[in-house]
Amino acid sequence: MTSRRLLPLLALLSLGARAGEPASLQKPASLVVEGEDASEEPSPPIPQADERRIIGDYIRDNSAPIRECYEKRLRETPTLQGKLLARFDIGPNGRVIGATADGIGDRELVVCVVTAVRKFEFDKPLSGGKLRIAYPFKFEPRPAK
Q: Which residue has the higher pLDDT, 144 or 2?
A: 144
Q: What is the pLDDT of residue 36?
A: 40
Between 46 and 112, the more confident residue is 112
User: Of 55, 33, 34, which Cα lies nearest the Cα of 45?
Assistant: 55
| Digit-coded pLDDT (tens) for 4-54 | 443 343 333 333 444 444 333 333 333 333 334 444 566 766 666 787 889
Burial 40-75 (b: 16+ CB within 10 A, else e): eeeebeebeeebeeebeeebeeebeebeebbeebbe
Mean of pLDDT values over 115-139: 91
- In this predicted structure, the answer to whether residue 109 has a pLDDT above a threshold of 70 is yes
Looking at residue 99, its pLDDT comes to 93
- Is the predicted pLDDT of residue 141 greater than 70, yes or no? yes
The closest of 101, 68, 67, 83 to 138, measured between CA atoms, is 83
Q: Which helix (H) or strand (E) holds 71?
A: helix 64-76
Return the pLDDT at 107.
93
Q: What does the pLDDT look like over 93-104, one tens digit per residue?
A: 999 998 999 999
